[in-house]
Amino acid sequence: MVTMLEVINRIPTVCTDILNHREATFAALVDTVKAHPEINQILLIGSGTSNTSAVTARRFIEKTSGLQTICVLPNELLHNCFAYNPQALYVFTSHSGTSTLTCEAAEKITQLGFLTAAVTDGADSPIAKMVDVFINQRNGVEEYLMRTIGYCSSVLTQMLMGLAIGKARGVISADQETAYLEQAQAGIAHHPAIVDEAMTWFDRNKEKLMAAETYTIYGLDSLWGVALEGALKILEISKRRIGVGYEFDDGMHGPTMGYTSSNCVIVLHDGGREDLRAHQLVRFAKNELGYGYLIGENPVDENDLAIHLTGGEFIFLELSPVVQVLAYRLAIDYGIDLTDMSYHSETKYFNTHNEA
């Protein structure tokens, strides 16, 4: 069986395929958007990795589509939203197309007569048949339930969806589209080198990374979504560690007072407006806890992972492989056999997907 590292290394191929087929992927959506000029909002609905992908893509979708874009969990949409927007586009993401509450929400909103779309892997998936517009994320077979390709394919598809909507609405010019696509290509091209660099970084800091019991990951803007996904991957892949993801500023209000020497703080950093506080937070973790790392631009010291980011709006492609490799190495260096699926005992008690 292929290793999870080999799966992570397939991400650039899948993402290139998504880019190459984007016109066909979004043809129906573009026609629908042009036929519905009243659309004034986009809602992104999904659970787990589908939700973290939406958090990652949300800002870019809003920026390029020109429409307010918000993320909503299926449970919230089903039971705690009482004023649905009839002029919104509701986009449901489910890799398998079988996520129980996401499907329930998609079916409900479609029956209400509101415009719906599904980002999923295959026109035959259950959720694709419940909505008005099918959007193929072109993920393909992924050997592990802990989605790594699926996260990246979902984010990229959602971001390209925003670009397609913006172009259809006349918000984005052809030149702007070209510039964004070049950024995506640069992010994809950088991915293989970063996987190698992340492996080397783990080896360099292995003793401390393996000793940490909990991991707190910080990210700003789209990197908040990467932080959430990284924390999820640490928990579900390593199985011996707890990961928590925070929006950068939110995570500096309270959580830092509870950290101990068993906690590792990781800041995903683009070198932008929070450069000073990013350095302050990492220095606090290094000096007071013993575990602190900056991943990205402007490292604090030689123990950080310096990355000159080239992907522009698509830097998730450059920083997500670091947290994926971290989760992978925490597992295999501890001796966990990731090919053994027998540990999924929770399926004897509850189900989150309506598998056929």
Answer yes or no: is pLDDT of 350 > 80: no
pLDDT of 229: 97
pLDDT digits (tens, 9 = 90+) for 204-253: 999 999 999 999 999 999 999 999 999 999 999 998 899 999 999 999 99
pLDDT confidence band for 344 (50 / 70 / 90): low
| pLDDT of 346 | 65
Q: Write down the pLDDT at residue 43.
A: 98
**Mean model confidence pLDDT for the chain:** 94
Q: Across-strand partners of 244?
A: 216
- Provide the pLDDT for residue 262: 92
Mean pLDDT confidence for 94-102: 88
d(C-alpha 146, C-alpha 148), whole Å: 6
User: What are the two backbone dihedrals, phi and then psi, of residue 148, each rounded to the nearest 5 degrees?
Assistant: -110, -55
* Residue 266, pLDDT score: 98
What confidence category does residue 342 fall into, taking pLDDT thresholds of 50, 70 and 90? low
For tokens 């959506």, the residue is: 29
Encoded tokens for 335: 């001796």
Residue 294, strand partner residues: 267
- In this predicted structure, the answer to whether residue 294 has a pLDDT above a threshold of 60 is yes
**Strand (E) or helix (H) holding 100:** helix 100-111
Examine the pLDDT at 345 and tell me if it is beyond 70. Answer: no
Backbone angles phi, psi at 90, to 5 degrees: -100, 115
Q: What was the pLDDT predicted at 254?
A: 87
pLDDT for the residue 305:
98
pLDDT score for 97: 81
Surface-to-core class of residue 340, CB atoms within 10 Å of its CB (0-12 exposed, 13-18 middle, 19+ buried): exposed
Residues 116 and 90 sit within 8 Å (Cβ to Cβ) = yes
pLDDT tens per residue across span 152-210: 999 999 999 999 999 999 999 999 999 999 999 999 999 999 999 999 999 999 999 99
The DSSP result for 230-276, as a single string, is HHHHIIIIISS-EEEEEETTGGGSSGGGG--TTEEEEEEE-SSTTHH
Per-residue pLDDT reduced to its tens digit, 12-65 = 999 999 999 999 999 999 999 999 999 999 999 999 999 999 999 999 999 999
